[in-house]
Amino acid sequence: MLGEAVPRKEDIRLITGRGLYVEDVQLPGMCYAAFVRSPYARADVLKVDKEAALAVPGVIGVFDGSEWPELRARLPELNGSVTLTSPYIDHINIPHHHLFSRRASYVGEQVAVVVAESPYAAADGVAAIEAEYQPLPAVATWQAAMTPNAPRVHDGFDNVVAHLKHRVGDIEAAFAAADIVIERRLETQSLKCMAIECRAVAAQWDTTTGTLNVWTTGQFPYMTRGTVAGVLGLPEEQVRVIARDVGGGFGLKGVLYAEDVIISVLAYHLRRPIRWAETRNEHMISSNHSGNQAHDVRIAAKSDGTVLGLDLKLYKEVGAYDHFDMMLQINTVNHLTTHYKVPALEIEGWAISTNTPPGSPYRGAGRVEAVFTMDRVLDAIARETGLDPLEVRSRNIVTPADMPYRNGQIYRDGVPVEYHDIDFPLLLNKAAACVDYRGWRDRQKDLRAQGRHVGIGIGSYVEAGGLGPCEGSTVKIDAQGRISVFVGVNSQGQGHETTLAQVCAHALGAKFEDVSVFGGDTRLMNFGFGTGASRVAVNSGNAVLRATGTVRRKVTNLASRILGCTEDEIVINDSVVSVAGARQNFMTLGELAARSVRDRHMIDLGGPGLNATEFFYPNTVVWGSGVNIAVVEVDTQTGAVTILKYVVVHDCGLPLNPLVVEGQISGGFAQGLGIALGERLVFDDDGQVLTGSLMDYFMPRASDVPEIEIEHVVFPTNDNPLGIKSVGESAPNAPGAALSAAIEDALEGRINITSLPVTRSKILTALRTI
For other proteins, give the closer residue by CB, 350 or 512.
512
Instruction: Note whether 359 and 291 are within 8 A (CB).
Output: yes
Q: Are 329 and 294 in contact (CB under 8 A)?
A: no
Give min distance, CB of 663 to other proteins, in A.
Answer: 5
Specify the residue, 199 or 298, whose C-beta has the smaller distance to other proteins. 199
209 vs 638, beta carbon nearer other proteins: 638
Three-state DSSP at 304 gives coil
The distance of closest approach from Cβ of residue 641 to other proteins in the complex, given in angstroms and rounded to an integer, is: 11
Nearer to other proteins, 410 or 677 (CB): 677
Nearer to other proteins, 490 or 556 (CB): 490
Please report how close the Cβ of residue 582 comes to other proteins at its closest, in angstroms.
Answer: 40
Residues contacting residue 638 through CB under 8 Å, at least 6 positions apart: 760, 764
Closest CA to 144 of 298, 41, 40: 41
Which stretches within 17-146 are classed as H helix?
Answer: 51-54, 119-128, 142-145
Nearer to other proteins (CB atom), residue 357 or residue 495:
495
Q: How far is the CB of 665 from other proteins (least distance, A)?
A: 8
Distance of alpha carbon 412 from its chain centroid, rounded? 15
Neighbours of 80 (CB within 10 A): 19
Closest to other proteins by CB, 21 or 175: 21
Which helix or strand (DSSP H or E) is residue 386 part of?
Answer: none
Taking Cα atoms as reference points, which of 272, 353, 257 lies closest to residue 35?
257
Please give the Cα distance from 270 to 332 (Å, whole number): 45
Rounded Cα gap, residues 79 and 358, in angstroms? 12
Spell out the residues 6+ positions from residue 11 whose beta carbon is closer than 8 angstroms to its own: none
Residue 208 vs 703, nearer CB to other proteins: 703
Query: What whole-number distance in Å separates Cα of residue 430 and Cα of residue 424?
Result: 10
Three-state SS for 259?
Answer: helix
**C-beta of 60: minimal distance to other proteins in Å?**
16
CB 481 within 8 Å of CB 590: yes
User: CA 742 to CA 457: how far, in whole Å?
Assistant: 4
CB 114 within 8 A of CB 62: yes
Contact assessment for residue 681 and residue 691, using Cβ atoms and an 8 Å cutoff: yes
**Closer residue to other proteins, CB minimum distance, 18 or 165:** 18
User: Looking only at Cα atoms, what is the longest distance across the chain?
Assistant: 85
Residue 651 or residue 662: which is nearer to other proteins going by CB? 662
Compute the least distance from the CB of residue 570 to other proteins, in Å.
35
Shortest distance, position 660 Cβ to other proteins, whole Å: 7
To other proteins, the closest distance from the beta carbon of 282 in angstroms equals 8
Tell me the chain's radius of gyration from C-alpha atoms: 27
Q: Which is nearer to other proteins, 618 or 687 (CB)?
A: 687
Q: Smallest gap, in angstroms, from Cβ of residue 193 to other proteins?
A: 8
Nearest to 710 by CA among 494, 498, 427, 442: 427
Task: Say how far apart CA 201 and CA 187 lie, in whole Å.
Answer: 35
Residue 229 or 673 with smaller CB distance to other proteins: 673
Start-end of H helices in 336-409: 367-385, 389-396
Distance separating alpha carbons of residues 316 and 323, to the nearest angstrom: 13
User: Nearest 10 degrees: CA dihedral of 558, 559, 562, 568?
Assistant: -100
Output 75 or 756, the one with its CB closest to other proteins: 756
Tally Cβ neighbours within 10 Å of residue 541.
29
Whole-angstrom distance, CA of residue 423 vs CA of residue 425 = 6
Nearest by Cα to 597 from 587, 607, 588, 589: 607
CB of 117 to other proteins, least distance (A): 12
How many residues in the chain? 770
Residue type, 535: R
**Would you say 235 or 451 has its CB closer to other proteins?**
451
| Nearest distance from C-beta of residue 253 to other proteins, angstroms | 11
**Shortest Å, Cβ 738 to other proteins:** 16
Of 19 and 169, which has the nearer Cβ to other proteins? 19
Q: Where are any strands of DSSP class E within 367-514?
A: 405-410, 416-419, 453-465, 471-477, 483-487
CA 556 to chain centre: 40
Least distance from other proteins to the Cβ atom of residue 450, Å: 17
Closest to other proteins by CB, 419 or 697 = 697
Q: Which phi-psi region, left, alpha or beta, contains residue 108 (left: φ > 0; alpha: ψ -120 to 50)?
A: left
Smallest distance, Å, CB 680 to other proteins? 9
Task: Report the C-alpha gap between 200 and 204 in whole angstroms.
Answer: 14
CB of 646 to other proteins, least distance (A): 11
Cβ atoms of 62 and 112 closer than 8 Å: yes
Closer by beta carbon to other proteins, 76 or else 519 = 519
Cβ burial, residue 638 (10 Å; 0-12/13-18/19+)? exposed
Query: Residue 708 Cβ, how far from other proteins at the closest point, in Å?
Result: 8
Least Å distance, CB 101 to other proteins, is: 25
Of 199, 265, 209, the closest CA to residue 237 belongs to: 209
Closer residue to other proteins in complex, CB, 25/164: 25
- Full DSSP string of 534-557: T-HHHHHHHHHHHHHHHHHHHHHH
Q: Rounded to the nearest whole angstrom, what is the least distance from the CB of residue 727 to other proteins in the complex?
A: 13
Give the three-class secondary structure for 202.
strand
